[in-house]
Structure 1
Amino acid sequence: MKNLLIALMIGAAVWHFYLKPDAGQRAGSTVYPASTASSNTATGFTKPAARAYSCDGRTHCSQMRSCEEATYFLRNCPGTTMDGDMDGVPCEQQHCR
């Protein structure tokens, strides 16, 4: 009985610390929220707003809307097939000319 109790405690600890996803996060998905344009008061320049993309399973150039989006997917999402000549530039015939 003592061994069963110890095994259950170890199993609960493993589940809690290793297998349970963090609150508010989905496994396998990275989301970068869009931010509003912010200005740097020291220089007076305005930063462009960041685009929000997430790894949602798209892997081909025909599924992308821009070069920026294709570049994000190529750099951050596994299993993409958008760089045929392996030079780091995705969708050269469609978006990134």
Structure 2
Amino acid sequence: MKNFLLVAVLGFAAWSYYTNNMDTGTGAVIHPYAMDREAMEEPVNTYRSDFRCDGRQHCSQMTSRAEAEFFTRNCPNTKMDGDRDGIPCENDSRF
């Protein structure tokens, strides 16, 4: 019983020390999904009819950077801008 009490007291002391001496993180918080809303809402080429939302979602399905940008800005559920900076297919060497 004494061992259990000793372990419990030491555990509580360690937890208390950890919570009181932990960095509070009062620095600037950057939201991972923060982005320039105007740039993302502005359609690339609304007058062009050669690009249409047809369900494609990935860079491997695109034939050009312009097509990827059109899909990212105008079509739902695209998965081409992993870091959400507005530049699709950054790591694709074809473009």
State the TM bucket, normalised to the shorter chain.
0.3 to 0.5
Higher relative contact order (CA 8 A, sep 6+): 2
Higher Cα Rg, which structure = 2
TM-score of the two chains, using structure 2 as the length reference:
0.47
More helix by share: 2
TM-score of the two chains, using structure 1 as the length reference:
0.46
